[in-house]
Amino acid sequence: MKKITTFIFALVTAMAIHASTYIVMVRSTRYQTVTGFGAACCDGAMCPYGEDTQPVRLLYGSQSKIGLNIMRMEISPNFVGDVIVAEWNNYDTPYDWKGSLPSARIVKQRGGIVFGTPWSPPGEYKTNGTAQGGNTEDANAKRGELRTDCYEKFFPWLNTFLAYMKQNGVKVDAVSVQNEPDWWVNYSGCLYTPQQQLTLVKNYAHMLDREKYSGVRLISAEPLGFDPQYSNALLNDAEARDQVDIIAGHLYGHPPLGNMKSAATLAAKYGKEVWMTEHSVDSDEGILVNRLPNWQEQLGFAKELNECMLAGCTGYIYWYMRAHWAFIGTGESQYGSDNKKNKLLPRAYVMSHFSKHVTGSTRLDTKSSFTTSTNSDLETSAYIKGDSIIVMAINSTANDHNMRIKLPSYVKSGTHLLSTGNETENLCQEQAITIDESTNDLTVSMPAQSLNTYIFMIDDATAISELKQTDDDDSKTYYDLQGRRLNTPRGICIEKSADGFTRKVYMGN
């Protein structure tokens, strides 16, 4: 009986050890190329704009620790012609176009992208006569919509914004139609139905002076929950589709693998980029907590980034740069002693895994022994960038795991970037991955509650590119060490089967 018990214990232990190793197969099938990551330079803790460029200095460019490259700014309705109209929003902060100039200049100097989003067209263009959205305690308040007789004024108004920025040294790369056209607000806002946006873009977007303003791109309206009705209406109309370059939206109330994935599917068909242009992530789904997020909540942010990539996203732009729930501390002690002003917060280092390494890459197809769905305990994605294959992995469980990675090319060296929340100053710890012999099948560690970036250098001598692996392909094909296909195996060659590549020696051929 003792022997049987010992055997059962050993068997269960072996099964437990085996179960802790997960398999991820990275395939050579390619999806979207990622433009980058960023945040908004808007009101709140960023003010006064003209005196405070420290957030962009800490966050943007290859010389920064974080590596952001996209900045979002508000196109407020207060600037008309050469006059800045004094108007205040509910936060008692004046909106004007000059406010973001100091930060925008630095982002452009560091090779970044700057785009503008209208919160509202000028009040005189709207049905309620004000930049306010119209949702107030007044039961008789009018919904703020763009008047149909002012549709022809909208894109010329955007041209005046582009002219102002250009005159002040900033080339704006893109402008959108509207911030949250489906959200009736008591601050600056404007409502559009999908059909109204379609009419505006289809009939009047040609008035955006792309030639004069260096090929400025047009971004669709940015609905609150990435409602695909807005983007689908544009994409399903050939004339409107020709005018729009980027499909955009926000994630409030709708995780990436839902509405955004649906919108991205049609966008990919027509070669359009897909940008997530605003969200703030914490444990209460957008309701800002009165404390610094804990590490499990930071991993939740990492999952959102990862799921956006899996959904087909090409650009991810967070909400504020500086806030206790964002990238840089505000100095407000009520949120915790670590909320020091202008200190990089853990969320910034989480973002850096993607912004420093995934920017400019192309996502690769993956198949794993675990299912990636919204907020899974284990998530992964993979990318190719130059001569590197990048694998992202998030382990939000309380246990250490191993991950066996099967790659589409042989690799000769690797680096593991690890964030576990145990460090206070620099959450990205770097260590070399030892690879004794060129391989396409290796096992790496995933510590408990960790965010991991594995970067593998492709071995050019044995690299085989653009080989699509399929589930039902049981046949074998053969390649020499230069990646040339062989009719029959001979000498030292690479055998490719459904579950990966193997280097083999065939004698007598």
Q: Which domain range does residue 484 map to?
A: 477-506
What number is the average pLDDT over the span 325-332? 92
Asked if the model's pLDDT at residue 468 lies above 70, the reply is no
Same-domain status, 303 and 394: no
Higher pLDDT, 446 or 469: 446
Asked if the model's pLDDT at residue 20 lies above 70, the reply is yes
CATH code (residue 239): 3.20.20.80
pLDDT band at 481 (very low <50, low <70, confident <90, very high): low
Same-domain status, 235 and 260: yes
Length of the chain (residues) = 509
Asked if the model's pLDDT at residue 43 lies above 90, the reply is no
Higher pLDDT, 283 or 286: 283
pLDDT band at 83 (very low <50, low <70, confident <90, very high): very low
Higher pLDDT, 335 or 95: 335
Asked if the model's pLDDT at residue 189 lies above 90, the reply is yes
Asked if the model's pLDDT at residue 36 lies above 80, the reply is yes
Q: Assess if residue 4 is contained within a domain.
A: no
CATH code (residue 424): 2.60.40.1180
d(CA 424, CA 337): 12
What number is the average pLDDT over the span 215-244? 98
Q: Assess if residue 15 is contained within a domain.
A: no
d(CA 243, CA 387): 35
Same-domain status, 394 and 404: yes
pLDDT band at 489 (very low <50, low <70, confident <90, very high): confident
What number is the average pLDDT over the span 76-89? 48
What number is the average pLDDT over the span 56-72? 97
pLDDT, position 10: 40
Asked if the model's pLDDT at residue 466 lies above 50, the reply is no
Same-domain status, 309 and 421: no
Task: Quickly count: other Cβ atoms within 10 Å of residue 437's Cβ.
Answer: 8
pLDDT band at 436 (very low <50, low <70, confident <90, very high): very high
pLDDT, position 48: 52
pLDDT, position 486: 66
Extract the tokens encoding 402: 């191993």
Same-domain status, 238 and 334: yes
Same-domain status, 106 and 215: yes
Percent of the chain with pLDDT strictly greater than 70: 80
Asked if the model's pLDDT at residue 238 lies above 80, the reply is yes
Asked if the model's pLDDT at residue 211 lies above 90, the reply is yes
Name every residue whose Cβ is closer than 8 Å to that of residue 223 and which is 6 or more positions away in sequence: 180, 181, 182, 230, 249, 250
Q: Are 453 and 353 in contact (CB under 8 A)?
A: yes
The count of structural domains within the chain is: 3
Lowest average pLDDT, out of 54-63, 127-136, 172-181, 205-214, goes to 127-136
Does residue 489 have a cis peptide bond before it, meaning omega lies within 30 degrees of 0?
A: no
The one-letter amino acid at 310: L
Same-domain status, 447 and 422: yes
Same-domain status, 298 and 313: yes
Same-domain status, 347 and 403: no
**Cα angle, residue 55 at apex, residues 54 and 58 outer, rounded to 5°:** 85
Asked if the model's pLDDT at residue 329 lies above 70, the reply is yes
pLDDT, position 372: 75
Same-domain status, 43 and 184: yes
Compute the mean pLDDT over every residue in the chain, rounded to the nearest whole number: 86
Same-domain status, 100 and 213: yes
What tens digit of pLDDT does each residue of 334-392 get? Answer: 999 999 999 999 999 999 999 999 999 999 999 999 877 888 999 999 999 999 999 99
pLDDT, position 4: 43
Name every residue whose Cβ is closer than 8 Å to that of residue 147 and which is 6 or more positions away in sequence: 125, 126, 127
End position of a domain, from candidates 343, 362, 381: 362
pLDDT, position 118: 95
